[in-house]
Amino acid sequence: MAREFAAMVSGFAPGADAPHPAPAEPGAPTADLTRREREVLSCLARGEATEAIAQRLFVSPRTVRNHVANILDKLDVHSRLEAVTFAMRQGLV
């Protein structure tokens, strides 16, 4: 699974601007994600650590962890890797 993740994120350059995900269709599992949760998800897809995401978004690491927990709950996945994999398959990142 780690190889799959590495292959998926290999196209992201460190420090690159966050991609702008397409809006989700109503009723889709990602339709409930807030704009900020989508930003955090994009950062996760680039392989950024909690602290780096916090600095990029000008929030505390605790806030990032809260966003990640909300993302995992809303997407009904159990890990950051699962969330990124789901987002990539859905074309969100």
> How confident is the model over 8-58, as pLDDT tens digits?
555 444 444 544 444 444 445 556 899 999 999 999 999 999 999 999 999
Structure tokens belonging to residue 92: 């969100």
Could you tell me if residue 26 is inside a domain?
Answer: no
pLDDT score for 3? 55
Predicted structure pTM score: 0.69
CATH number of residue 76's parent domain: 1.10.10.10
Could you list the residue range(s) of the whole structural domain that residue 46 is in? Answer: 2-9+32-89
In tens, the pLDDT along 54-84 reads 999 999 999 999 999 999 999 999 999 999 9
Whether 30 and 54 have beta carbons less than 8 Å apart is answered as no
Could you tell me if residue 52 is inside a domain?
Answer: yes
24 — phi, psi (to 5°)?
Answer: -80, 150
Q: Which residue in this structure is represented by tokens 């889709």?
A: 28
CA distance 67 to 12: 21
